[in-house]
Amino acid sequence: MIILGLESSCDDTAAAVLVDGQLKSSVISSQLEHVAWGGVVPEIASRAHLRMIVPVVEQALREAGVSRFHLDAVAVTYGPGLAGALHVGVSFGKTFAAALGIPVYGVNHLEGHLYSVFLENPAPPFPFLCLLVSGGHTELIAVKGPFRHTRLGGTRDDAAGEAFDKVGKMLGLPYPAGPHIDRLAAQGNPKAFAFPRTHLDAFQFSFSGIKTALRYFLEEHGEAFAQAHLADICASFQAAVVDMLVRGVRQALTHTEFAHLAVTGGVSANVGLRKALAAVCAMEDVALYVPSPRYCTDNAAMVAMVGHFLIREKRASDLTLCASPQIPFTSPA
């Protein structure tokens, strides 16, 4: 079974080839056009996807050593994400599948992140708990079986990645700021500044408080101080975000008794978060599954993997498949 995965929900144009559940290629073209704007500009993203989708697909097929005529299915992200960006992947995916006479599978981007752990060996057995932390989402999910997952809780306001990006912008770091803060934090003292932690019950998170605290802190101390203490500020901010995430995970592990924890989404690439969760899991006797950093951030390998599961469940889409910018992260349960 040879699946072509496609991802174009935000600012990465990506294609991947999965053969019988084994990844053969994963190509990602990250749009650098947005750096100058300090965030993703939807119209620029759509145009860049249009320019890149064919060369990216051609490269993924070439690297996998697969002709397009050997493909059995196309799996494409149809939401959530930026409308115009999604339209490019969905239109291309449907047309490509129709021209080749093969089925197309619409993939929820959040399920993509969730299933990214199946790209690794070992993959978690069902059931497991998943912390999904990305630029748009911070969710705790109980995963009972394929496409049987329920949301236990999540953020009430900003996503964790959004907090990294907004604070990074205040610090003058390029977009997306998460990886820059991560790198600088490694050189700083996480106890240098005591930024507030918001602890809520019922598996809820909130990151707007720490973002505001950073804004006041920077206004009070000024630009020169911030630049002179950049590594310590990054380390202290990251420690606060990691503490909040870890507390929510511990709460969920205690209440649910899951023996397996998966951590996915762009922020799961964060070195501080990976270390802290490894320590918690060792203490709680829980097995931890985190994808390699290249499968944490947006990619098409995870989309192809969802396609692999959808094929088993015989859940093909038809050619009315549409980009759905706002679909929730739900399942029949």
CB of 270 to ligand KG4, least distance (A): 3
> What is the contact mask toward Zn ion in residues 181 to 210, using x (rule: CB under 5 A)?
------------------------------
Beta bridge pairs of residue 19: 2, 22
Q: Which two tokens stand for residue 331?
A: 């399942």
CB of 241 to Zn ion, least distance (A): 18
Residue 96 vs 237, nearer CB to ligand KG4:
237
- The DSSP letter of residue 144 is E
Q: For every residue of 1-56, which 3-state class applies, written as one string? A: CEEEEEECCCCEEEEEEEECCEEEEEEEEECHHHHHHCCCCHHHHHHHHHHHHHHH
Instruction: Quickly count: other Cβ atoms within 10 Å of residue 54's Cβ.
Output: 13
Residue from 193, 298, 310, 329 in contact with Zn ion (CB under 5 A): 298
Exposed, middle or buried: residue 282 (CB in 10 Å: 0-12, 13-18, 19+)?
Answer: exposed
> Collapsing DSSP states into helix, strand and coil, what is residue 153?
strand
13 interacts with Zn ion by CB under 5 A:
no
Instruction: Quickly count: other Cβ atoms within 10 Å of residue 42's Cβ.
Output: 16
Residue 19 vs 82, nearer CB to Zn ion:
82
Piece of the chain touching ligand KG4 by CB under 6 A; list 97-105, 119-127, 263-271, 284-292: 263-271
CB of 174 to ligand KG4, least distance (A): 10
11 interacts with Zn ion by CB under 5 A:
no
Residue 164: contacted member of ligand KG4, Zn ion, none (CB under 5 to 8 Å, by partner type): ligand KG4
266 interacts with ligand KG4 by CB under 6 A:
yes
331 interacts with Zn ion by CB under 5 A:
no
Place of tokens 């969730």: 114
Of 273-292, binders to ligand KG4 (CB under 6 A) are none
What DSSP letter does each residue of 201-253 carry, written as one string? STT-B--HHHHHHHHHHHHHHHHHHHHHTHHHHHHHHHHHHHHHHHHHHHHHH
Q: What is the largest distance, in Å, between two alpha-carbon atoms of the chain?
A: 63
Piece of the chain touching Zn ion by CB under 5 A; list 131-139, 205-213, 276-284, 299-307: 131-139
Residue 103 vs 266, nearer CB to Zn ion:
266
Interface ranges with ligand KG4 (CB under 6 A): 10, 134-136, 161, 164-165, 176-179, 182, 265-267, 269-270, 297-298
